[in-house]
């Protein structure tokens, strides 16, 4: 019994170490997950900050698309191959008419 438990624990550890693009749960993720971070930054400008993460991943913070003095701010997680594995809006504005948000419009995700 202990052997089976050990095998399950080791298998779970190996599986949790795998990095994959997350399932798109919003238009930003649907547009950018799996794409090159180089394409993103070439189109919209460089990030304002970055920090190293687990397994060689890097988290970038990007700010742009100023409208009415307020920017769109997103965080991108990028893997070792420079592919975007996650993107989320940190500062965004919802369209009061129910349309795409400010970040979705700015980053061509609408």
* Tokens 């950018």 belong to residue: 32
The pLDDT confidence band at residue 17, using thresholds 50, 70 and 90, is very low
pLDDT in tens, 44-83: 999 999 999 888 899 999 999 998 889 999 999 999 999 9
User: Residue 49 has what pLDDT?
Assistant: 98
Q: Topology of 21-106 in CATH? A: Beta-lactamase Inhibitory Protein; Chain:B, domain 1 (3.30.1450)
Q: What is the pTM of this model?
A: 0.75
Query: What is the residue extent of each domain of the chain?
Result: 21-106
Residue 52 CB: number of other CB atoms within 10 A? Answer: 8
User: Rounded to the nearest 10 degrees, how much is the dihedral formed by the CA atoms of 93, 94, 99, 105?
Assistant: 20
Reply yes or no on whether the pLDDT at 2 is more than 80.
Answer: no
């Amino acid at each position: 019994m202990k052997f089976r438990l050990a095998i399950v624990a080791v298998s779970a550890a190996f599986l949790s170490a795998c990095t994959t693009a997350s399932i798109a749960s919003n238009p930003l993720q649907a547009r950018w997950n799996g794409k090159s971070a180089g394409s993103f930054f070439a189109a919209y400008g460089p990030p304002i900050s970055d920090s190293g993460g687990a397994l060689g991943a890097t988290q970038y913070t990007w700010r742009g698309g100023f409208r009415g003095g307020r920017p769109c701010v997103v965080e991108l997680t990028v893997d070792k191959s420079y592919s975007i594995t996650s993107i989320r809006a940190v500062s965004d504005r919802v369209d009061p008419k129910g349309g795409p948000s400010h970040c979705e419009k700015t980053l061509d995700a609408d």
